[in-house]
Amino acid sequence: MSDFVSVASDGDVAVVTIDNPPVNAMSFHVREPLHQALAALRDDPSVAAIVIACAGRTFVAGADITEFGKPVQQPELRAVIAVLEAIAKPTVAAIHGTALGGGLELALGCHFRVADSKAKLGLPEVKLGLLPGGGGTARLPRLVGAEKALGMIVSGAPIGAAEALEAGLVDAMFDGDLLAQTVRFASELVVKGGPFLPVRNRNDRLGKADLAAFDRQAAELAKKARGLEAPIACAVAVRNAVTLPFDETLAAERELFLNLVAGDQSRAQRHLFFAEREAAKGPAKDLSRRKIARVGVIGAGTMGGGIAMAFANGGFPVTLLETSEEALQRGLATIDKNYAVSVARGSLAEDAKRERLGLFKGSTDYADLADCDLIVEAVFEEMAVKQEVFGRLDAVAKPGAILATNTSYLDVNAIAASTSRAQDVVGLHFFSPANVMKLLEIVRAERTAPDALATVVELARGIGKVPVVVGVCHGFVGNRMLAARGAESEALLLEGATPSQVDRVFTEFGWPMGPFQMGDLAGLDIGWRNRKARGLTAVIADALCEQGRFGQKTGSGFYRYENGSRTPVPDAEVEALIRAKAAEKGTTPRAIGADEIIERTLYPLVNEGAKILEEGIAARASDIDVVWVNGYGFPVGKGGPMFWAGLEGAGKIVERLEYWHQHTDRPIFQPATLLRRFAETGSWEAAARP
Ligand code: T1G
């Protein structure tokens, strides 16, 4: 056999075990021996049934994503499944862990599937800009029906074993020794006798498909695609299962798959898949980790409450500290309400809510933080306030406790300097709402100890965050680049663009919303306060704030929001204000095209990313992509600003930045040296080589 596929016999049941750590991906070195083993077992008269199982922590978690974009090595997964499905003897997949993508498709090639009760099953290919390419779009609908299959494949979300059993995707669910019970399941099939119907021949669920309902569901899902091709292709492929013969469905699936896998969107999404994992590796794996048993959070406001929930959601006991009992109770009440909303939505069970709330301990006394292993402050964003808090923490925290600041911008070195333990200080920049947003910028200060850093990186993954280690500068990676992206916003308005025109260019690019809508959502008063603190002005945004137009929270900002609606309505008053401010500046409005808007917002975004790389604030370009996709809604189909720069053409970006630099002399348009090198070399890695 091979190191990756072995065969053992348990009576007349053959057990094929795949062993390809870490996730049993269906790599070529698995497909080839598996294909051979199945053919041999098919022809072996002593074998009455076949079980396919996996060693390690999971059943096959998919095709090997690293193989995409390279020449295909035969046998392909589809050929392996075809051999499997043609076997007349009963075949059973023993599923534990996560049977995903090509892994679930392999299992669909069996007559039966049995699952450990904690297993998950799904077809997440859409998250890679693909669709199931191993027959999943033809076989899954035959087991669970077209509409359930459509939802699973277009969302890419896995389902649990119990739901899979209920839906008909698995035939039995076990606890305990999965393999032994699967072998017994297979032996009983032998006794019962066949014939055993392959999935491809099961058409009864399809016959009941309500195509009109299916099309309505597909149309609803298409609205959320936001320019992504894969969700649309997934719906087409699943619909084919209802309307076409099996083999034609497979052929159509193959064509759709080949089109997607070669496209920029899938390349971008596969880039992000590996980029997130690369970023989460943080410092070297071999560093020791500090034990984190209890977390303290200072501040029970929006950020502090969200951060506390993020840790409680990860199972950590949390001590939540506020300055007064009234503020503390208000914060705890908000947390309770947030969990209640999740329960009402059905995304959290009532007992889970009680369990999580049971993890909270409220206090107004710093001394109560003495038993915390990690303490995160989320107090007012002012250096003096933060330094006072850290000074007090230095006095009460136990030795070795990690002291983290949630600052969005401030110098973590200066905060660390207000303690006697700078080696224990790190930044944990959560994004609001902290219990929801995935991104966590982990700020490595000059003296942050490597083991402290490694501890919080691993902890971040453990609570479901996407960690990116960043260096100290004003705004770290995300907010510093956000400032560059927004630097021209006022100029664009004064020169003739309208807020809705700029926002429309962004949404057509694939952003969930544009900068002006985003400002209204977050609250214009936040930027206004920051500008005043730094002696800066923004004539239009300041004027709006002076009129009390803070955005959605006040019913108007750059847009009007009627009767509490969140729908932005262009406001003639705002456009008149813009015209008046332009006249004061002697600026004559002109027509501004979409290209110019992109060049004056997204090109500076890329350029600032290049400067951040040059300064070592980010370790790699893909980290910056992870920040922007997970923290700011950069469209996944474009892979993040640094990946997109390659799609857009770095040479073109440099040329246009030079043009705007000549016309405005503004520093954000001065092309970074590393961007020029990227234009010459074609990759950020090559550009960074001396
Ligand atoms: N191919 C190659 N490497 C993979 C991989 C895959 N499918 N899945 C994971 N890895 C690597 C990953 O890069 C990391 O490597 C290590 O395994 C641990 O992963 C034909 C076309 C299974 C839920 O999309 O969702 O099948 O960083 O850190 O958090 O229709 O991995 O250690 O060097 O994520 O425990 C469809 C992708 C593929 C599933 C485990 N399948 N994987 O999560 O570990 S396309 C997927 C995951 C396909 C067919 C189509 C997760 C996981 P390194 P990890 P984890």
Quote the tokens at residue 167: 């839906």
Instruction: Give domain 594-688's CATH architecture.
Output: Orthogonal Bundle (1.10)
For ligand 1, the distance from its centroid to the CA atom of residue 154, given in whole angstroms, is 18
pLDDT tens-digit profile of 208-265?
888 999 999 999 988 888 889 999 999 999 999 999 999 999 999 999 999 999 999 9
Q: Which long-range contacts (CB under 8 A, 24 or more apart) does 187-195 make?
A: 187/11, 187/12, 187/13, 187/49, 189/49, 189/90, 189/92, 189/111, 189/112, 190/12, 190/13, 190/48, 190/49, 190/90, 194/88, 194/90, 195/88
> Would you say the CB of residue 100 lies under 6 angstroms from ligand 1?
yes
| pTM given for the model | 0.94
pLDDT at 282: 66
**With 80 as the cut, is the pLDDT of residue 561 above it?**
yes
> Would you say the CB of residue 124 lies under 6 angstroms from ligand 1?
yes
pLDDT at 665: 87
> Would you say the CB of residue 272 lies under 6 angstroms from ligand 1?
no
> Would you say the CB of residue 132 lies under 6 angstroms from ligand 1?
yes
Q: Name the average pLDDT for the chain.
A: 95
> Would you say the CB of residue 556 lies under 6 angstroms from ligand 1?
no
pLDDT at 564: 80
Between 1.20.1330.10, 3.40.50.1010, 1.10.10.10, 1.10.1040.10, what CATH number should domain 512-585 receive? 1.10.1040.10
Instruction: Give domain 295-476's CATH architecture.
Output: 3-Layer(aba) Sandwich (3.40)
Does residue 474 contact residue 409 with C-beta atoms inside 8 Å? yes
594-688 shares the fold of 512-585: yes
Q: Which atom of ligand 1 is nearest to the CA of 103?
A: 26
pLDDT at 191: 96
For ligand 1, the distance from its centroid to the CA atom of residue 62, given in whole angstroms, is 7
Strand-by-strand arrangement of the 466-470 sheet: 360-363, 318-321, 295-298, 374-377, 402-405, 425-430, 439-443, 466-470
Band the pLDDT of 372: cuts 50, 70, 90: very high
For ligand 1, the distance from its centroid to the CA atom of residue 61, given in whole angstroms, is 6
CA distance 126 to 116: 25
* Residue-wise burial string across 578-597, b where 16 or more C-beta atoms lie within 10 A, e elsewhere: beebbeeeeeeeeebeeebb
Q: Which atom of ligand 1 is nearest to the CA of 273?
A: 13
The CATH class given to the 5-261 domain equals: alpha beta
For ligand 1, the distance from its centroid to the CA atom of residue 277, given in whole angstroms, is 10
CA distance 690 to 686: 9
3-state SS record for 484-498: HHHCCHHHHHHCCCC
CA distance 28 to 653: 39
pLDDT tens-digit profile of 481-532?
999 999 999 999 999 999 999 999 999 999 999 999 999 998 999 889 888 9
For ligand 1, the distance from its centroid to the CA atom of residue 324, given in whole angstroms, is 47
Going by CA atoms, what residue is nearest to atom 13 of ligand 1? 274
pLDDT at 283: 67
pLDDT at 690: 83
pLDDT at 287: 75
Residue in 28, 60, 65, 622 to alter for ligand 1 test, most ligand atoms within 8 A of Cβ: 65
CA distance 675 to 690: 14
Residue 466, phi then psi, degrees to nearest 5: -105, 100
For ligand 1, the distance from its centroid to the CA atom of residue 637, given in whole angstroms, is 19
Mean pLDDT of 287-295: 92
> Would you say the CB of residue 63 lies under 6 angstroms from ligand 1?
yes
3-class secondary-structure state, position 114? strand
> Would you say the CB of residue 671 lies under 6 angstroms from ligand 1?
no
CA angle 563, 567, 568 (to 5 degrees): 105
pLDDT at 284: 65
**With 80 as the cut, is the pLDDT of residue 286 above it?**
no
Q: Which atom of ligand 1 is nearest to the CA of 274?
A: 13
Cα 241 versus chain centre, distance: 30
Residue in 18, 20, 23 to alter for ligand 1 test, most ligand atoms within 8 A of Cβ: 23
pLDDT tens-digit profile of 421-442?
999 999 999 998 999 999 999 9
Domain ranges of the chain: 5-261, 295-476, 512-585, 594-688
3-class secondary-structure state, position 76? coil
- Residues annotated as catalytic are 105, 125
pLDDT tens-digit profile of 604-631?
999 999 999 999 999 999 999 999 999 9
**With 90 as the cut, is the pLDDT of residue 689 above it?**
no
> Would you say the CB of residue 130 lies under 6 angstroms from ligand 1?
yes
pLDDT at 465: 96
